[in-house]
Structure 1
Amino acid sequence: MTTELYVGEMAFAALADEWDALAARGMTDTPFQTLAYQRAWWTHLHPADGVLLTVAVRDEGGALAGIGCFFNVAGTLHFNGCVEESDYLDLIAPAKGATDVWNAVLDCLEAVDTPLWRCLELCNIPEASPTRTILPALARQRHYSFEEDPVEVCPIISLPDTFDAYLDSLDSKQRRELSRKLRRAEAADVVTTAVGPTDDIDAEVASFLELLQKSTLEKRDWLNEGRRAVFHEVARAAQAAGTLQLLFTAVEGRRAAALFNFDYRDRIWVYNSGLDPTAFAALSPGVVLTATAIERAIEAGRSEFDFLRGDEVYKYRFGAVDTRIYRQRLERPA
């Protein structure tokens, strides 16, 4: 295998024609490994003192076999995208051969002309990722210290074949409560709409962000200009790729709740949500919208509904079950 190290954002242009094809075959294939997301995060949210380091690994035939995209801050390397906005991060490489790719990446990063670093601190690695077994073994071989800790949970619903079967899977109290809210919403003509491929995406994202910042004080403070720009840029790319699911619930023509999801690789990924707490609260528009999104996912034949990071109580009321993401820390010997 051969490697090439790119310093700075030139990596995105240099690998643009190959990036997404590799990500689609990756051991962790999520919206967060796509070129559009990785580029948007770095462009708008990278730390001011961070240096982007991207290692491209090629096989003997010259085909792209792996991408390790990191940033260096004060001698510690992190996955590009770490930590808050990117729920799943990993080396971009197929599971088969991932050990060889990780070896090549570490060899490249250890080269004398690489900007100095002492630690790899890698966040949000999915529990099923081969990285979780590969890196401890490589750390032992290279005499690195190694630590792994769970970071957070990502609750997921495994979807059945029908919405009725989904409702039957809930505990009886939640099933009755959800059914009652759906009947009430239907009687009140609560309307759910989805942004389409020809809609004005910037206007629709602006409407979504208005609801997001109304949701809680925490979300209002979290939504800085960089994150606004990421939402817009990622939404434009996902709309073009056909993987955006931007849903709104409205009552009497007034939008009350919204979901910004990705419809990607047989799974719905709930990236973020918005809710106007003053708009028709008695009709539970946020609950109705989430239930509607689950119903649409089942009708479309999707296999999972991923709420992404966070252990908020409402996710478990919808029947989600925890999966975990992990942090790994490797430190080179002095």
Structure 2
Amino acid sequence: MTPSLLVGGQSSVVTDPSAFAAMKPEWDDLYERCATSTPFQSHAWLTSWWQWYGGRSRLRVLLLRDQDRLVAGLPLMRTRRWGCRVLSPLGLGLSDYTDVLLDEAHRDGLARTAGEALLALPGWDVMDFPEAQPGAALETLHACWPGRRWLMEGSSCLYMPALPLEDQLAALGTRTAGKLRRGLYKIDKLDLQVHAVTPEQVPAAMEDLLRLHALQWAGRPINKEHLSPRFQAHLTRSATELIATGRAALTEFRVGERLVAADFCLIGADFAGGYLYGADPWLRTQVDTFAMVLQHGLRQAHARRLEKLSLLRGAEPHKAKWGARAIGNRRMIFGRTHRAGLYAALVRARIHAARTLKERLHPLSAKAGS
């Protein structure tokens, strides 16, 4: 770490992965003091991701301390893209929410100090956070950033209030609600046995989940990363610790002795987020498997007294039909050198191209499904 004094505290940059790994106690303490933190900013998730996905990137974790207490943590890495030196968040690609940790008691001041520390950090042109949810700590940093900055659309995430699914159907209309209730009745008739996986059981249970996930998507387009050994290794390592600290849950569903489905859910301060599930193809012939997982997720979120269930990224029709509300993430880009303008223009062009392609394909997919 190379320390430098700033007004309001001391900044340092962690470049050694072993040093970041050793920070678990104070990082976890800061996590609890940040009102907007999600499991994607937890030490367990970030260090596991870095181990398996860091690759050739350079670790650049910016820290702010008030005397000896950690009050801000920006989990960053430096990469190269389009001729620019880019600071990106750890967890990139696998994290539905990207953010920084700022002690809530001093959020505004820490954001300004973090901005000064970042600008003083050499060797980068632009910082890019692709998935900032509304209210993220990153919003405060973006608002007070002294250089050029850009705000663009990110992914859409669907949310439902953390109430039993049966209680939410009335708002969907009589015909729709009746159809969905019949689906829930089939699930109840199946006499499912539900088991919460313990930390010690995670390695075998995660292997089963990913096996079921692959079977569920057999013959259909699937995210190939979900089939990779490193994805399994990352989920296994991070889930073991997250479940032990109450920040995740891994649930198995059985019919008799047969494992028919498994679901991995992340748990934040006010939400539960369904990250990944897998279901035996046989089960899909019996019931709506997504409805089964959704019903369980809402019950669990309600029992934990959380505000909402997040279906995380993606606004697929099978999610939206249950009345989930879409809220968009935002992509936040921070400029340091003149190259940042070109980088931001290229990002905007790619977003526009992706949106145009989606609009052109939508009528074709709708026609194919009719």
TM-score, length basis structure 2 = 0.80
Equivalent position to 1:93, from 91, 97, 102? 102
What is the CA-CA distance between 1:198 and the residue it aligns to?
6.5
Cross-structure match for 1:193 = 194
1:122-170 Cα shifts (integer Å, max 9, x gaps):
12111222432542432xx3xx32211111111111124x554333333
Q: Does 1:159 align with 2:162?
A: yes
Alignment partner, residue 308 of structure 2: 304
Report whether the alignment pairs 1:37 with 2:45: yes
What amino acid is aligned across from residue 316 of structure 1 in structure 2?
Answer: A
**1:324: how far off?**
1.6
| 1:70 paired to 2:89 | no
Describe how 1:1-334 pairs up with structure 2 within 5 A. 1-46=9-54, 48-59=55-66, 61-74=67-80, 75-82=85-92, 84-111=93-120, 114=121, 116-138=123-145, 141=146, 144-160=147-163, 164-189=166-191, 191-197=192-198, 200-216=201-217, 217-219=220-222, 221-223=224-226, 224-334=228-338
| Partner deviation per Cα, 1:210-243 (whole Å, 9 max, x = no partner) | 1112222443622212211111011111222133
Q: Give the CA deviation at 1:270.
A: 0.7
Which moved further from structure 2: 241-250 or 3-12?
A: 241-250
Secondary structure in 2 aligned to 1:308?
Answer: strand
Matched letter for residue 117 of structure 1: W
Letter in 1 for 2:46: Q
Secondary structure of 1:265 counterpart = coil
Q: Give yes or no for contact 1:8–1:51 (8 Å, CA) kept in 2.
A: no
Q: Which amino acid aligns with 2:108?
A: T
The structure with the greater share of residues assigned to helix is 2
Q: Residues of 1 paired with 2:201 and 2:310: CA distance?
A: 27
* Corresponding residue SS for 2:101: coil
Q: For 1:250 and 1:67, how far apart are their aligned partners in 2? A: 41
The Cα shift of 1:252 comes to 4.6
Inter-partner Cα distance in structure 2 for 1:81 and 1:173 = 42
Question: Which residue identity lines up with residue 151 of structure 2 in the other structure?
Answer: E
Q: CA deviation at 1:45?
A: 1.4
Aligned pairs, number: 323
Indicate if the aligned counterparts of 2:212 and 2:280 stay in contact, CA closer than 8 A: yes
Find the aligned partners of 2:116 and 2:141 in 1 and give their Cα distance: 15
**RMSD over equivalenced CA pairs, Å:** 2.2
Distance in 2 between the 1:171 and 1:249 partners?
30
Letter in 2 for 1:328: M
CA shift, 1:294, in A, is 1.7
Give the TM-score of the pair, scaled to structure 1: 0.88
- How far the C-alpha of 1:85 sits from its partner, in A, is 1.0
Partner-residue secondary structure (3-state), 1:128: coil
Structure 1 CA distance for aligned equivalents of residues 267 and 102 of structure 2: 22
Contact 1:90 1:125 in 2 (8 A): yes
The DSSP-based 3-state class of the residue aligned with 2:128 is: strand
Residues 246 and 259 in structure 1, CA contact (< 8 A), matched pair in contact too: yes
Identity, % of aligned pairs? Answer: 21
Closer, same or farther in 2 for the Cα pair 1:205/1:2, shift >3 Å?
Answer: same
1:52 positional shift: 0.7
Query: How many Å separate the matches in 1 of 2:98 and 2:179?
Result: 36
Quote the offset at 1:107 in angstroms: 3.0
User: Equivalent residue of 2:309, what SS?
Assistant: strand
Q: Which moved more, 1:163-172 or 1:114-123?
A: 163-172
Q: Is the 8 A contact 1:42 1:80 kept in 2?
A: yes
Counterpart amino acid of residue 57 in structure 1 = L
Question: What's the CA shift string for 1:301-322, capped at 9, x where partnerless?
Answer: 3321111111111222222111
Contact 1:151 1:326 (C-alpha < 8 Å) held by counterparts: yes
